[in-house]
Chains A and B, each alone.
Chain A
Amino acid sequence: MRYDACIIGAGADGLAAAATLAARGLKVAVVERDSHPGGRCATREFHPGFRASPYTDELPPIPAEIFWSLDLARRGVVLAPASASLALWPGRQSLLPAPAGRAEAFRQAILARVLADSAAPANRGWFTPRAPYAPWPGEELSTRTLSEALEELTADPAERANLMATFLTGRVCNPALAGSALQLLGGARGGMAAGGLGRLGEALRVAAQEAGAEITCGLEATDIRRKAGRVTGVGLADGSDIAARAVISTLDLKRTFLSLFSWSELPRALVDRAGAFRPAPGTARLLLALDALPEPPVGTEACALRGPIHLAPSAAALDEATHAWRRGALPARPPAMLRLVSAVDPSLAPSGAATLTVTLGAIPHTPFDGAWTHEKRDRLSATALAIIEALWPGLAKRVIGSELLLPPDMEQMLGVSGGDLAGGELAADQMLGLRPFADPDCRGGRTPVQGLYLAGPSSALGPLATCASGVEAARAVAADLVARRL
C-alpha cells in the first residue's frame, strides 16, 4: 500500500502535520521511534507521586489558527497564560509581566508570512520567474545585539537582566555579539498546559488519529528511499518499508540528512550545510520533589512564584557560561531558571508537597575531559542546589527526590543531535530565510531532495512556534500533490 505522506517523528510538529494532511483526505502514516507519541510533549512521574514534563515546562505558543483548526480546546488542552517572571539577586529582586513588544510583532508577522507562503506549490520543474526578495520581518535584528535591543525596552539594568533571562528561557548566547538580538524571536512562551505537556501530546495524537492518520510507535525510521532522484518512501528498523509519495521529517537537520541518507547520494553543498549547522548550547534539567511548599524567599510574595524564577541573571555570567560551553567546560555558574510547576498545576505533586524544575544553561554534551560520569552528574546537581540555596535559603533541605537530565540523555530519549532541543543555534546565518537552507525554492519546509519536507526544530518556524512547522510542511505537501509535482 502506498501512502500519500509518511511522517517521521510523532512530536507536536509531526502530529499536527499528520492531522492537517489526514483532514484533507490524504493517506498518512506516522512512524515514531519511542513507545508512545508526543516527543517533548511528555509528562511523567519522576518520583513516587511527583510528576513533571521532563524536557521543558513550556513550549513556544501554538498559533491561534492552528489551535482551533486542530480543535485542541475540545480535546482538553488548557494553557495557563504566561505569568510574570521573577529574578532574584542577593538582597534584590525584579518582577516583570510576560514581555510583549516588537519582537512579538515580528514573530507574528513571520508566522503569517510563512504559513501563507507554504500553500503555494513548488517551483520545481517549471520555469517561473523568481519573485524579488522581500525582506523578512525582524531581519534588522540579525545585525543587532541583544543588549542593545533590550536597552530599548527598559532603562533599568535589573529589569533588563530579568528580561534577558526570560527571553532566553535557558538558552545562552553572548548578548554583546551582533546578531544575538535574534534570540528575542525564540523567546515567546505559550503558557503551561494543565496536567503537563503530556496532555497536549495526547490531544494532538487524538486529533491526528481522529482525522485518519495511522501512527506506529516503537519503530525507528532508518532510511529514506529514493528512486530517480525523488523520494519513494521510508525504510524502517524492522526491515520493512513504507511507500509514500512524500516524506515529512520532523528530526533535526543533521539527523535527517546525515543519518537517513547515505552521504554520497546527496549533493555536496547539502551535506556541507547539514554538517556545518551549529548546535545551540545544550541545557540540563533537574527535576526536584519537595516534601512541602517552601517559604518564598524574603521579600517575595507567594503569587510571584508561579512564573519563571531566574537566579542572579547577568550578561557577564551569560557570556562566561557561553565561553565555558565552547571549551566543553562546565560553567562555574550556569544560568539557572526555576519553575515551581506545582504552583500553577497542583496535579503535578501530592497535596502539601511541591514539584520544582531547574533548567541549567550552557551544559556541554560531552565535557572536554570525557563523557559524563556519575561523579560529574552529582557535582552538577550539587552546583545547582548551591546556587538555589544561596538565593532561596531553606529550599535544599526540602528535597526528597530528584532526577537530572543531561544533553546526552535528551539525545537518547528524543533523538535530537547533541541533545540540542533548539535544533541549531539561533544565529543570524541559521534563522529566518536562511534556516535551514538559503535557497528560496526551499520555502514551505521543502528541501533540495524532491519529495522530502523538513519540519521540526531545525525548520524556519521550529524555534518560533509549536505545531506551526508541521502545518507548514503539510500544506506544502498538499499543494505539491494537488499541483502534481510529486
Chain B
Amino acid sequence: MSEALDALVIGGGPHGLTAAAYLAKAGMRVALLEAAAEIGGTCANALALGDLTVPAGAQTLYALDPRVVSELKLVRFGLKFAARDLMQIGLRTDGKPLLLGRDARAAARSISAYSQRDAAHLVDFRRELFAFARAQRALWWEDGPPAALPDELRRQGATGAAAMLDAAFESEAMRAVFAFDAMAGGMSPAAAGTALLFAWRAAQEMCGLQGAVAVPRGGMAALAACLSAAAQGAGVEIRTGAPVARLLLSGDAVSGVVLASGEEVAARIVLSSLSRRETLLNLAPSGAAGFAAAKRLTHGAEVGEAKFVMTLKAVPGFAALQPAARFLIVERLENCIAAHAEARAGRLPAELALEAVVPTAFDTALAPPGTDILSVLVRPLPVVPAEGWSKLAPRLSEAVMAILERHAPGLRANITGLICVTPKPLRDPLEISQLRASWRARIATPIAGLYLCGEAGEPVPALSCRAARIAAAIAAAHLKGAAR
C-alpha cells in the first residue's frame, strides 16, 4: 500500500463489503480489513458442524435494502433466493398451528380455531400496519431530514408491543406468535415504543414483497460472496487476516488504523462495521469519544439471543406443514415479559421464544442427501449470565431440546450434530428513540472522519446494509467537501 488510501473499511461482513463497494464505485481508493482469514463476518461459514460449515449470524433475510441489490448488481454476481417469502407459522402445544402466510383465507381458517374475532381482524391489522409502515419509509429508508412526526408515529413510539398486541388480538395464540419479533434487539415486549418494531419490520421489502422473509440460495455465505465479488469488481482491495488494533488520530480527526501486526495504514476516512461500543471503546483512544458519548457507551446490551444449528437424519415433523417457513414457538406473550426480566438479571429464563427454520427443506444443495439442517434462534437470553456461559450453555441446550421435542417428537434421536452460538458481548443496546432519529445521527461519531456503517448505524440491528449505503454517501460527501 504505497499510495495513500481515501477510505478504509473495518470488518468484512455484508455491511463492510457494501460500504466498500459503494465507496469504490464513487471513485475512491478503498481497502477493506477483515480480522478473520475469510470474508463474510457473521455470514461466513465459519462454524464446523460435522462435515458441514454453517454461519454464526442471521438465519433469514428480511431487511436487505432492495437498492443495494439493484445498485451493486448483486443478481449479476450470482445472488439467487431459495425462498422468497417464508410463511410465518406459530406452533402451539394447545392446538393446531397458526399458518400466517400471505393467503388471508388460509390464515383466517387456522386462527378461527382460537378466535373468530382475531381471524376476521388479521386482514385489517396487516393492512393498517403495512400502510403505516410504507408511510414511514422516508424516515427509515432515506437519509433525508427526519419527517415531521405524524400523530400515529408518536403514539406507536410510546406504546409497548404487549399493549399493542393486547389491543389487537384477543387470543393468546395470536399474541404469542408476534412475541418473538417484539423482542428484537433485546427489548422487552412491555418496553415503551416496541410497537414500532413491527412497523419497522413491515416497512422492509424482500424480492419486491413488503414484509417478506427470504433466504438466499446457498445460505448467508452466498450473500457475502456476492457482495465480496461486487466489492472486488468495483476495485476494493480486500485484506483478510488483518485485525485492527486501534485507530490513528491526528488532532480530533481520524487518519488511519494500526493493525495488530503493528503495521500502520493511513487513510483519510475510516468506516467501521463493528458495533458502536467496539469501535469507540476498543479501537479509539480513551477519551476520544468525548464525555457525553462515552456515557452512552457505558451500558451494553444486557439481553441477546443465541443460535442453535443442528444436523438431523430426518426433517422434523413440523416442516411437513410448509417447508419454506419460519416456525415461531412461544407459549404466552406475558411470560416473555417475565422472561426478559429474568434474562436481564443474568439468569436463564423459564420461558423461551424460538424461531426455527429448516433451510435444507427449500435448498437441498446445503447438505448431502439424507442430512437436514435445523437452525433455531432463541430469545431472550442474558448476554453475561451470572454463572458464565460455559455452565449455562448445556442447561440452555437442554431447555431448547425440551421445547423442540414437544413440537417434533423424536427429534432428539435424529440429531447427529449440534452447535450453539451464545449471545455476542459488546453489542450496542437498542434504543427505541433511534427509530425516530436521523441516519446521520447514528452513522457519524464524535471523531471526525470516522463513520459507523454496520448494525450500529441501523435503527434496529438487522442485516439491511442500508446504513452502509448511506454511510458511504455521507463519507464520500465528506471527502469531496474536504477536497474543495
Contacts and interface: CB of A to CB of B under 8 A. Distances in A.
Interface string A410-448: 000000000000000001110101100010100000000
Contact of B158 (A133, A176, A316, A434): A434
Most buried by A among B151, B154, B166: B154
Given A276-B167, A429-B163, A142 B334 contact: no
A368 to B, nearest CB: 12
B316 interface: no
B18 interface: no
Main secondary structure of the interface of A (DSSP, over half): helix
Contact of B163 (A176, A178, A427): A427
A148 B295 CA distance: 11
A427 B160 contact: yes
Contact of A174 (B167, B187, B190, B334): B190
A296 to B, nearest CB: 34
Contacts of B188: 174, 176-177
B160 A429 contact: yes
A177 B192 contact: yes
Nearest to A427: B192
Contact of B338 (A142, A179, A323): A323
Nearest to A320: B341
Contacts of A174: 188, 190, 341
B115 interface: no
B192 A440 contact: no
Given A276-B163, A316-B345, A323-B338, A178 B432 contact: yes
Interface string A288-329: 000000000000000000000000000010010001001100
B116 interface: no
Most buried by B among A176, A326, A433: A176
Interface string B48-71: 000000000000000000000000
Contacts of A276: 163, 166-167
B192 A429 contact: yes
Contacts of B194: 178
B431 A133 contact: no
Given A326-B338, A427-B163, A176 B344 contact: yes
A429 B338 CA distance: 20
B210 interface: no
Please indicate which of the listed interface residues B192, B193, B337, B431 has the most CB atoms of chain A within 10 Å of its own CB: B192
B445 interface: no
A143 B193 CA distance: 7
B158 A429 contact: yes
Nearest to A143: B433
A140 B433 CA distance: 9
B171 interface: no
Contacts of B299: 148
Interface in A32-87: none
A433 B151 CA distance: 10
Given A133-B148, A176-B344, A429-B192, A143 B167 contact: no
Contact of B160 (A132, A179, A272, A433): A179
A326 B192 contact: no
B155 interface: yes
B149 interface: yes
Contacts of B431: 143, 178
B249 interface: no
B334 A326 contact: yes
Interface in A116-157: 132-133, 140, 142-143, 148
Interface residues of A, number: 27
A209 B28 CA distance: 81
B191 interface: yes
A485 B431 CA distance: 44
Contacts of B166: 276
A278 interface: yes
B159 interface: yes
B341 A176 contact: yes
Contacts of A434: 155, 158
Contacts, number: 76
A179 B158 contact: yes
Given A143-B433, A427-B163, A178 B341 contact: no
Given A316-B345, A428-B158, A132 B148 contact: yes
Interface string B135-171: 0000000000000110100110111100100110000
Nearest to B345: A316
Contacts of B154: 133, 433, 438
A426 to B, nearest CB: 11
A440 B433 contact: no
Interface centre among B148, B155, B166 (most CB of A within 10 A): B155
Q: Which of A177, A323, A326 has the most CB of B within 10 A?
A: A177
B100 to A, nearest CB: 23
Most chain-B CB neighbours within 10 Å: which of A148, A174, A272, A440? A174
Nearest to A180: B192
A278 B190 CA distance: 12
A177 B432 CA distance: 11
B148 A178 contact: no
Contacts of B341: 174, 176, 319, 323
Interface string B337-356: 11001001100000000000
Most buried by B among A140, A326, A429, A433: A429
Nearest to A176: B344
A142 B148 contact: no
A429 B345 CA distance: 26
A179 B155 contact: no
A90 B191 CA distance: 33
B219 to A, nearest CB: 34
A177 B194 CA distance: 11
Nearest to B156: A429
Contacts of B155: 429, 434, 438
Contacts of B337: 323, 326
A132 B334 CA distance: 38
Nearest to A182: B192
Nearest to B435: A143
B338 A178 contact: no
A433 B344 CA distance: 31
Interface string A270-282: 0010001010000
Nearest to A432: B158
A178 B167 contact: no
Interface string B102-140: 000000000000000000000000000000000000000
B48 to A, nearest CB: 38
A372 B337 CA distance: 26
A143 B159 CA distance: 10
A143 B192 contact: yes
A427 B188 CA distance: 14
A434 B158 CA distance: 9
Interface in A153-187: 174, 176-179
Nearest to A433: B154
Contacts of A326: 334, 337-338
Residue from B151, B158, B187, B337 having most chain A Cβ neighbours under 10 A: B158
A91 to B, nearest CB: 24
A319 B187 CA distance: 16
B284 to A, nearest CB: 23
A429 B432 contact: no
Interface of B: 148-149, 151, 154-155, 157-160, 163, 166-167, 187-188, 190-194, 299, 334, 337-338, 341, 344-345, 431-433
15 contacts: A132-B148, A133-B154, A140-B433, A142-B192, A143-B193, A174-B188, A177-B188, A177-B192, A178-B193, A179-B158, A278-B163, A316-B345, A428-B160, A431-B158, A433-B154
Given A178-B431, A428-B159, 17 more contacts: A133-B148, A133-B154, A142-B193, A143-B157, A143-B192, A178-B191, A178-B192, A179-B160, A179-B192, A276-B163, A319-B345, A326-B338, A427-B163, A428-B192, A438-B154, A438-B155, A440-B151
Q: Which 9 A-B pairs have the closest CB atoms?
A: A179-B192, A428-B192, A428-B158, A178-B191, A429-B159, A143-B433, A429-B158, A276-B167, A177-B191
